[in-house]
Amino acid sequence: PPSPDIRVRVHTCKGTVGRTAEEDNMRKFITAAFAVSALTGAALFAPDYVPLPRPVEAALVEFRSFAFARLYGTFFLKYYEKEARAYKEEVLSKAKGKVLEIGIGPGANFDYYPDEVEEIYGIEPNPYMVEELNKIMDTKMHEHEGLSDRAKHGQVTRGKFKGAIQTGAEDLSQVESNSMDTVVSTLVLCSVGDVEKSLAEIKRVLRPGGQFLFVEHVKAKESPYNKIQKCIENPWKTIGDGCHLTRDTGSLIKQAGFANADITDFNISEGFFGGLLPHIRGVAVKGEE
């Protein structure tokens, strides 16, 4: 398993009636993001559109990672966490023992882990996300007096964090087989390069009887949302650091060879944006060997 002292800085939407100001801001942000992406020529930032010289492509991917990490902390966490909190609490309350979180980002899930969690390790390919995580980890506890009970719990939980590993979900070779009690993924499988390989690695590192906990957005089943997803997927990947809208992640989890997979469909909000970003949550258990 990862060394206990690892600390690595690595590369790696409701209807108009009844909407709050924060929900309006989130809607405006998403709309503006698409507009900016289109007006600046999304093709230049998404190599899927046109072939680009490798140095140019690498520079654009680097910029995309930087921009996403900054927007994630500034906008996304503030609004998404409010909508998804109850669902994440339900799923992550099942975590226990030694936990490996795929795509740990700035540590947003620390607030949700129960006392049964003993150690937390992270996987994070985006270097700028890890910068944010390191800032949080380097902040002294007494600087957060007056926080909510949830945030105070997160302060305790972060003391169980042992480090981040420089790799993507497709290659967990630094993690021993059968070494983790729980693997967690929240909004990560949408952006990995190879979902099937990532799931195989997740299953490999879990102990027999270990659990894979997940909250993911997935491909829409209903029209016109599925058609809209296909139309905007390339610009979405541009502003979402490789995030795919049209992945049937639930089916891929069921096909990954877990002993059983309990998956529930849900929308984090009503109306257009809820239909455009349908979610799944659940737990998949590795069988006894």
CB-CB neighbours of 56 under 10 Å = 11
- Among 58-67, 161-170, 219-228, the minimum mean pLDDT is found in 58-67
Average pLDDT over residues 151-159: 72
* Cα gap 212→285, rounded to integer Å: 6
The pLDDT of residue 49:
52
Nearest to 224 by CA among 265, 267, 272, 279: 272
Q: How far is CA 167 from the centre of its chain?
A: 15
Report residue 134's pLDDT band, with 50, 70 and 90 as the boundaries: confident
The pLDDT of residue 80:
83
Report residue 16's pLDDT band, with 50, 70 and 90 as the boundaries: very low
CA-CA-CA-CA dihedral for 233, 236, 242, 248, to nearest 10: -40
Backbone dihedral angles phi then psi of residue 10, each to the nearest 5 degrees: -120, 160
Report residue 20's pLDDT band, with 50, 70 and 90 as the boundaries: low
Average pLDDT over residues 180-191: 96
Q: Share the mean pLDDT of the chain.
A: 81
CB-CB neighbours of 272 under 10 Å = 16
Sequence-separated (6 or more) residues with CB below 8 Å from residue 199: 189, 252, 253, 256
Question: Residue 230 gets which letter from DSSP?
Answer: H
Average pLDDT over residues 96-107: 95
* Cα gap 245→228, rounded to integer Å: 10
Average pLDDT over residues 155-169: 85
* 142 SS3 class: helix
Higher pLDDT, 34 or 88: 88
pTM: 0.79
The pLDDT of residue 24:
64
Residue 209 has which token pair?
Answer: 């009887």
The pLDDT of residue 153:
66
